[in-house]
Structure 1
Amino acid sequence: MTVITNPVLPGYHPDPSILRVGDDYYIAVSTFEWFPGVQIHHSRDLVHWRLLTHPLTRVSQLDMVGNIDSGGVWAPCLSYADGRFYLIYTDVKSRQGAFKDTHNYLVTAEHIEGPWSDPVYLNSSGFDPSLFHDEDGSKWLLNMIWDFRKGQNSFAGIALQRYDPDRQCLTGPVHNIFRGTRLGVTEAPHLYQRDGYYYLVTAEGGTGYNHAVTVARSMSLFGPYEVDPDNPILTSDQTDQSCLQKAGHASLVETQQGDWYMAHLCARPVVDGKCILGRETALQKCYWNEAGWLRVEGGPAPAWSVAAPNLPSYSFPPEPLRDDFSSTGLQPYWNSLRRPFTQDWLSLSERPGFLRLKGGESMQSTHRQSLLARRLEGFHVDVATELDFSPEHFQQMAGLIVYYDTADYVYLRVTHHETLGKCLGIIESRHGRYDEPLTREVALPATPTCLKASIDRERLQFYFAVENGAWQAIGSEHDIRHLSDDDADYIRFTGTFVGVCVQDLGGQGRWADFAWFDYRPREAVQDS
């Protein structure tokens, strides 16, 4: 029997919205402050997946300069009707304190790979929007309602309002169709029609270890909605940390043969409940019971292995382990912070065969960092690069970074010291507190320098090599549990990235050239 092995999208891939169009399956996931906005993954058999495209590639679609950590794109919803793809997403500008500025937009395209339109603004009343296409042809926007008032339930229910595609705007009254169950924190609404019922799937319990999937139904779009007596239909077994945790935020898809699957987020803790990879995407097989309620095969806890649908196997070529920057464009797995790939800070042509980054703002900036990174997708990974950089001042830095957000990262960087000249050191930020773990930086020759990070679950060791020499360890082993959602005193939502960056805090744009970037998993079997 062919099986689906979870997570199907390892590493930071939260809030999945799954869709089938003909024989093609797509999953759209949140990208938060990382650019380009929204990842869309593709499959033909639900077993093999590849990153296909990013729909939000222009500032006119997504302007995130200045966005807070874990702001930006939340919970996209991908749908298809009338020969067009529809993508709904939130751009979160603020989220701390009583208020949340959550702007909801719609873009469309005739083809999944675009071009995607400029956005239509919808509302800002809450987040996690979705678009429901009713059988009668009408279209309806859903989103959770955020109530900032003291003494109120902040998650105040699920709003429903009609969308007019001709006028490209919302119209008519707003209906609060569902105020949630006893689990609370009701969000991520998705509507489905089946056998005369409207089924409302929501996420409840919060995005952490109490996360869950709940269902309610009604014969009227506007309710009242009857709550499934066996809710939650999916949640994690918190007593067993070896199981998939944080299961919730689900969407549904029906296969060509009539089987049903649920895409949901999950997480895998390394130790002490810390999930350095962030929230990932998994699939569960479902069925409808005699009473017409949705059930997960094997019970409400997420499974590592799930029976695959009876579809022809459809695999994709393996992703190259090394990027030698010889293409005219970047590989699709690369991401930048808050701003698009533009020639004013990034170039593949100024020195052919190299990635040139021009120095930007500091690692704590929410505006214009010159940082290019990819998701950490496994627990045992070596990443390495070769750097050609000639700094002239201590404010000029470049190197290899293991990054969660502006408050938490570990950075092996080349810089200039008044006595040593060109040198190598480590900067660490833990919960926003700056540190330099080395007592003395290492002097370097003028030649290019190779840098490596070796990650083993919650442990990180840096290495360097010069003039084709052997790798030398630098500094002691780092505990990187702080590179997780779970190690801060506030809620955050992303995951660990590995990549390269350049800073010129004097504003001169001193550049660094990277000859290659190597990402090499070391796990031979699935690490649970």
Structure 2
Amino acid sequence: MMLKNIAFVTFFLVVLISGAMGQTTFKNPVLTGMNPDPSVCRVGDDFYLVTSSFEYFPGLPIYHSKDLVHWKMIGYVLSRTSNCPLGGAYSSGGNFAPTIRYHNGTFYVTCTNYGGHGSQGAFYVTATNPAGPWSDPHWVNNWGVDPSLLFANDSVYYVCPDNKGNFLLATLNLATGKFYKAPKVIAHGTGSSSPEGPHLYKINGYYYLMSAEGGTGYQHMEVIQRSRSPWGPYEVSPINPVISNKNDFDNPFQAIGHADLVQLPDSSWWLVCLGIRPQGGHYHHLGRETFLAPVTWNADGWPKGGTNGVVNPEYVVPNLPEYSWGKDPIRDNFSRTTLRLCWNFIRNPYSADWSLTARPGFLRLYGSRISLKDQDSPAFIGRRQTAFNMVASTKISFTPTTPNEEAGLVVRGDDQNHYDFLITLLDGKRVVMLRKYLHNKAVSVTYKKIPDGDIILRIGATAFKYSFWVQEEGNKAEFVGSATTKDLSTEKIGGFIGTYIGMYASGNGKANVNPADFDWFDYEENPVVPYSWLMRSKDISN
């Protein structure tokens, strides 16, 4: 009873202190939309986090936080074709499972580039400023995915899975990318499938090897083992898993795992991990997101994350001063000469396909012969869908000359699954087309005639449905059709990524004669209902 009272008083004091500072609790996930495989490091009072990006370019977004709760994207680790080769990468190929670490004034990110004709396996890059620039890759010439680093004992330990159920450890020469001591099996998985995502930590005289198991689906979990030597032998935690929601069927978060630990200045521990938010059953379309949970250690020195190993929707904030970055503006009016950090291409883009200067104040896309179904880089610029309830819209100027030319908005699942909301020609008439392209074929196509001139295209979303609207400026918006979110879920299409929404143009085998000019793009989470279809005012622009 006394222990329970002490625990309650401690919790009350934390809430009281946090309340004096501002926000008292936070809600998961802390990074929404496709942000899987999070890795985090602390440098003084600052935290930096990277996530996987797969076939999207630039690669490996990097986020900055002061309080572990509020995060701001500050750049990309892989921002050049030379350090992010993605040509030929299949959907959900590309850059897998990075780790970020800091040592003696330098940041290090390890990762594996996979599945493209430019890929060479595992690598690491370096920077003195986490916002960049980052170096070109130092290729390790090792195909063990999910590599991680530990700086300890005047050595650089390199750990990765061998894809056979074991974990390998080597010591690395950072100057050459070669191993001082060749990779050696030091431990095995703890019994579940797909041991992966290892991180090695030196804590209180032990080397803790934490890893993910169970695959990245609904049986996902995080486990840990330890040794007095980095080379083993390792003993498995008797209170595993560290975290997993696989047996908490009513929890809104599932597939919890692939975690990384971080210690705060007050000596408390926290973890970041990936998870999903299924909707309407076992269907998730936003991708795997980043979650945050506290970590406690028992008297025997074994960690447990969340609430008795389960990640819940809400926790008391970490013992850090609150630091909010503020919200990004709803509107991008393309007034700058560089793209905002939220925008991504599919694989390595072709510079001739897009411009912010050809028509100042507009994003111009030159529709190429490449289409969304090709394993290449179409003229597409998109951003993560980060909320179930959202509205994305754009004002477009585009006059197609032949039926093969099209431009507009797209909700992308992957190469073979996307909803295309485009202006094109049908029987010589200018129309807006809603094409549902699923499992590599058009399963439904709807047309609506539109007048000459600029057109506003708008996509509204709920947890279960996308709605597509077209509007001639100054007139009432007209409904064109709807589509389910479920059909773009990972459970339906496979892979590892989440939905993107963006602007697109293509000539489907032949370049467009006329470019598509996008005046602005609005992205609004949890819009006021009913949503106003009027032109957005200046207060949402940059």
TM range (shorter): over 0.9
Aligned residue in 2 for 1:483: 488
Q: Which amino acid aligns with 1:520?
A: E
1:195 CA displacement: 1.2
Distance of aligned partners of 1:238 and 1:455 in 2 relative to their CA distance in 1, 3 Å threshold = farther
Structure 1: 4+ residue segments shifted above 3 A: none
Matches within 5 A, 1:103-502: 103-134=121-152, 136-146=153-163, 155-340=164-349, 343-360=351-368, 361-417=370-426, 419-438=427-446, 441-475=447-481, 477-488=482-493, 491-502=494-505
TM-score of the aligned structures, taking structure 1 as reference length: 0.92
Verify the 8 A CA contact 1:27 1:41 in the aligned structure 2. Answer: yes
1:239 CA displacement: 4.8
1:243 CA displacement: 2.4
1:297 CA displacement: 4.5
Q: Which amino acid aligns with 1:221?
A: P
* DSSP-derived class of the 1:284 partner: strand
Verify the 8 A CA contact 1:370 1:503 in the aligned structure 2. Answer: yes
Verify the 8 A CA contact 1:3 1:47 in the aligned structure 2. Answer: no
Aligned residue in 2 for 1:515: 519
Structure 1: where are the runs of 5+ without partners?
96-100, 147-154
Verify the 8 A CA contact 1:4 1:46 in the aligned structure 2. Answer: no
> Within 1, Cα distance between the matches of 2:345 and 2:378?
8
1:60 CA displacement: 0.7
Structure 2 residue 92 is the aligned partner of structure 1 residue 70: yes
- The structure richer in helix per residue is 2
Distance of aligned partners of 1:241 and 1:407 in 2 relative to their CA distance in 1, 3 Å threshold = farther
Alignment match of 2:59 (pick from 21, 37, 60): 37
Verify the 8 A CA contact 1:209 1:238 in the aligned structure 2. Answer: no
> Within 1, Cα distance between the matches of 2:280 and 2:306?
28
> Within 2, Cα distance between the matches of 1:238 and 1:514?
47
Q: Which amino acid aligns with 2:366?
A: K
* DSSP-derived class of the 1:159 partner: strand
1:238 CA displacement: 4.5
Distance of aligned partners of 1:314 and 1:338 in 2 relative to their CA distance in 1, 3 Å threshold = same
Structure 2 residue 31 is the aligned partner of structure 1 residue 20: no
> Within 2, Cα distance between the matches of 1:416 and 1:193?
63
Deviation digits for residues 9-62 of structure 1 (CA, Å, limit 9, x no counterpart):
011100000110111011100000011000111110112111111021111101
Verify the 8 A CA contact 2:57 2:345 in the aligned structure 1. Answer: yes
Q: What RMSD over aligned residues (CA atoms) do the two structures have, in Å? A: 1.7
Q: Which amino acid aligns with 1:88?
A: T
TM-score of the aligned structures, taking structure 2 as reference length: 0.90
Further displaced range: 86-95 or 199-208: 86-95
Task: Give % identity.
Answer: 35
Deviation digits for residues 354-381 of structure 1 (CA, Å, limit 9, x no counterpart):
0001113111112121111111111111
Verify the 8 A CA contact 1:236 1:243 in the aligned structure 2. Answer: no
Deviation digits for residues 71-116 of structure 1 (CA, Å, limit 9, x no counterpart):
0010011001121000111111179xxxxx8711111011111211
Q: Which amino acid aligns with 1:21?
A: V
Aligned residue in 1 for 2:19: none
Structure 2: where are the runs of 5+ without partners?
1-14, 16-23, 530-542
Aligned residue in 1 for 2:8: none
Verify the 8 A CA contact 2:221 2:246 in the aligned structure 1. Answer: no
Further displaced range: 30-39 or 291-300: 291-300
1:437 CA displacement: 3.0
1:242 CA displacement: 4.1
Verify the 8 A CA contact 1:447 1:467 in the aligned structure 2. Answer: no
> Within 2, Cα distance between the matches of 1:194 and 1:524?
48
